[in-house]
Amino acid sequence: MSAKILIIDDEKGIRDLFTYLLQPHGYNVSLACNGLEGLEKYKQDKFDVILLDVHMPKMRGPEVLKIIKEINPKQKVIIFTSGSDPDFIFENKSQELGVHKCLNKPFCIDEVLSTIKDVLHSNDTSPVVN
């Protein structure tokens, strides 16, 4: 059975990129265009890992993450953000919020793929942020 990945990002180009990258590797990809839609999909299905953007309209990534972790504290989550955002340095709070890995935009494709693989194959459900 292929791993199920939920991508939550407001940028269509990012969602399309992840779909293009992940489906050929056998991943089952579900998409959400904002935090509210992401939570709806999360509550309806089970996912092996969630890729979550920090900055989105309607509900920001940290709010989404908090609710996801209340539902399932062991859920594996990879967050991504623009390193140039001065108003909220999410990486500093990521471990206490239960994030497994932080990625900065723009992405290195090989890094994204290896990070997803590492997080999926990790038996440890505790955060492993670097």
pLDDT tens for 64-90 read 999 999 999 999 999 988 765 543 445
Tell me the backbone φ, ψ of residue 79, rounded to 5 degrees. Answer: -105, 155
pLDDT bracket for residue 1 (50, 70, 90): low
Q: Does the 4-121 domain belong in CATH 3.40.50.2300?
A: yes
In order of 5, 43, 63, the CA distances from 58 in angstroms are 21, 17, 10
For residue 98, is it left (φ>0), alpha (ψ between -120 and 50) or beta? Answer: left
pLDDT at 126 over 60: no
**CA 64/CA 69 separation, integer angstroms:** 9
- Which position has the higher pLDDT, 121 or 104? 121
pLDDT tens for 29-46 read 999 999 999 999 999 999
Compute the mean pLDDT over every residue in the chain, rounded to the nearest whole number.
Answer: 85
What does the pLDDT read at residue 60? 87
pLDDT bracket for residue 98 (50, 70, 90): confident
Domain boundaries, the chain: 4-121
pLDDT at 129 over 50: no
- Which pTM does this prediction carry? 0.86
pLDDT tens for 106-125 read 888 899 999 999 999 887 55
**CA 62/CA 67 separation, integer angstroms:** 9
With contact defined as beta carbons under 8 Å apart, do 114 and 84 qualify?
A: no
DSSP-derived letter for residue 102 is E
